[in-house]
Amino acid sequence: MLRIASVLAGLGLAKGVFGVDLIASHFAGNVYSLSLTTTGTSGTISVKSQTNGCGSTPGWIEYLNDTRELYCFDESWTGRGQHAKFNVANDGRLSIAATLSNPGNSVHGTLYGGADGRGFIATAEYSPSTITTYKLPLQGSRVQSTQKFTMSQRGPNSRQDVPHPHEVHLDPTGKFILVPDLGADVIRVFRVDANSGSLTSCADHKTGAGDGPRHVKFWKSADGSKQKVFSLNELGNSVSAWDVNYTNNCISLSRTHTISTYAPGKKGGPTTKAAEIRVVGNFLYASNRADQTFGNQQDSIAIYTIDASTGAITWMEAANSYSYYPRTFAFNKEGTLVAIGGQTSSNVAIVARDPATGKLGKLVANVQVGQKGRAGEEDGLSGVVWVE
C-alpha cells in the first residue's frame, strides 16, 4: 500500500510499486482513462484510452466505486446536451452504457433518492437559472421537473446578472440538496422525497454580497456534536463556514465566518477565481485559478485547518497546484495523494500529501490530457476522479 512518510522527509512515497486508475473529462468532448504507477518517491501517469458520448462539453463527472459506473454531465452551451453513463472495466477502460438528451448548460449533477440513493438525478443549469431532475435509468429525455430561479435586481458583480446555480449537493443524510447560487448570492435548500424524487424548497440562506457561492462541503466533528457547511465563493475568492441545524424538516444554515483563499495581507488579481473545495478529515482545501502564486502558470491550493471541536477554519498555507486554472481536484482514499486537474494547462498533476499535517508536497507525476485551453474560457480539462 502507498504511504506518505513525513513532510520533513519531503513527503516522499514509501518503497514499492502501486498502480491505480483515474478518469478525466475534457471540454472538447472526450473522457479519458488514465493509469498511474508509483515507485518509491516518484511515479508515472499516462493516458490509457479515450472515448466520447457525453455530449460536446463534458463538464462534471461522478464515479461510483461499488458499481464501477461513471456519470458524466454535459455543459454544452448550444441548447442541446447529452448526459451519459459509462461502465468502467477492470483495466480502467470506458464503455458507454446509456445516454440522456437534455438542453445542456449543466455545470453539475448528482444522484439521489430512490431505495438505494440512486433513483434520480438532479442537475444545475448555470445560465438558464434552473435545476432539473430526471428519473433513472438514463433514457431518452425524460425530464421529471424543472425549477427556475429569479431575482429582483442584479448583484454587485458584473457576472451576477441572473441567478446562476452552480451545484446540486446532496447532504450526508441524503434527505436534502443544497444549491449554491453564484448569481443570486444565496445557498438554496431543498427537501428530497426519496420515493418520488420531488424537491421541496426550504428557506434560502444569504451569503455576503458579491461572494458568488460555487460549491459546498459538509463536515462533522468526530463526536458528532458539531456540523458545518463550508461554501467556496468564486467571486469573493473566499471560503465561508456555516453552522448546520436540522429543524422543522429542513436544514437551517447560519454563517459564522468567511476567510480569503489567500494568505492574510494578500489577495487575488483581477482575473483570479476560486474553483473547487474539498474536506479531508480536519483539513479544508480550495483551489485558486489564475493567481500564479508559484510562478508562470503555477496556481495555488489554499489549505486550512478545521478546529476539531468547533469547526472553525484557520488559514494554514498555500501549496503549488502544478497547474494553470486548477478547476478540479480529488484525493485518493488514503489521503496520501491528490490529483489536480488544470483546466487551461489541461494536465493532471499527482501531488503527495501528508495525512498527519494536511500539507501538500512534491509533484509525483504529471500528464497533459487533450488540448490545452485558453485562460478564462470554457475549454481544457474539466474533471478528474480516482478509480478505487
Q: Is the dihedral of CA 14, 16, 20, 25 positive or negative?
A: positive
Number of domains in the chain: 1
Residue 311 belongs to some domain of the structure: yes
Domain span holding position 199: 7-387
Q: How confident is the model at residue 221 (pLDDT cuts 50, 70, 90)?
A: very high
Residue 379 belongs to some domain of the structure: yes
The CATH number linked to 117 is 2.130.10.10
pLDDT for 18: 59
CA 228, chain centre distance (Å): 18
- CA 266 to each of CA 124, 252, 262, 317: distance values in angstroms, whole numbers, following the listed order: 32, 32, 6, 12
Percent share of the chain, pLDDT over 90: 90
Task: Please check whether residue 267 is in contact with residue 279, taking contact to mean a CB–CB distance below 8 angstroms.
Answer: no
Q: How confident is the model at residue 5 (pLDDT cuts 50, 70, 90)?
A: very low
Q: How confident is the model at residue 16 (pLDDT cuts 50, 70, 90)?
A: low
pLDDT for 141: 74
pLDDT for 142: 81
pLDDT for 41: 72
**pLDDT at residue 2 is higher than 60:** no
- CA 282 to each of CA 46, 221, 233, 263, 306: distance values in angstroms, whole numbers, following the listed order: 32, 8, 20, 19, 5
What are 286-310's pLDDT values in tens digits? 999 999 999 999 999 999 999 999 9
Residue 33 belongs to some domain of the structure: yes
pLDDT for 19: 75
The mean predicted confidence, pLDDT, of the chain is 94
pLDDT for 17: 56
**pLDDT at residue 1 is higher than 50:** no
CA 266, chain centre distance (Å): 25
What are 53-77's pLDDT values in tens digits? 999 999 999 999 999 999 999 999 9
What are 84-116's pLDDT values in tens digits? 999 999 989 999 999 999 999 999 999 999 999
What are 123-151's pLDDT values in tens digits? 999 999 999 999 999 987 789 999 999 99
Residue 1 belongs to some domain of the structure: no
Task: Please check whether residue 123 is in contact with residue 102, taking contact to mean a CB–CB distance below 8 angstroms.
Answer: yes
pLDDT for 97: 96
**pLDDT at residue 11 is higher than 90:** no
Residue 61, CB-side half-sphere exposure with 13 Å CA sphere: 38
- Torsion angles phi and psi, residue 9, rounded to 5: -90, 15
Q: How confident is the model at residue 4 (pLDDT cuts 50, 70, 90)?
A: very low
Nearest to 373 by CA among 354, 336, 346: 346
**pLDDT at residue 8 is higher than 50:** no
Task: Please check whether residue 341 is in contact with residue 383, taking contact to mean a CB–CB distance below 8 angstroms.
Answer: yes
Distance CA 51, CA 75 (A): 17
Looking only at Cα atoms, what is the longest distance across the chain?
Answer: 60
Task: Please check whether residue 329 is in contact with residue 384, taking contact to mean a CB–CB distance below 8 angstroms.
Answer: yes
Residue 2 belongs to some domain of the structure: no
Strand order in the sheet with 227-233: 213-220, 227-233, 238-247, 250-260
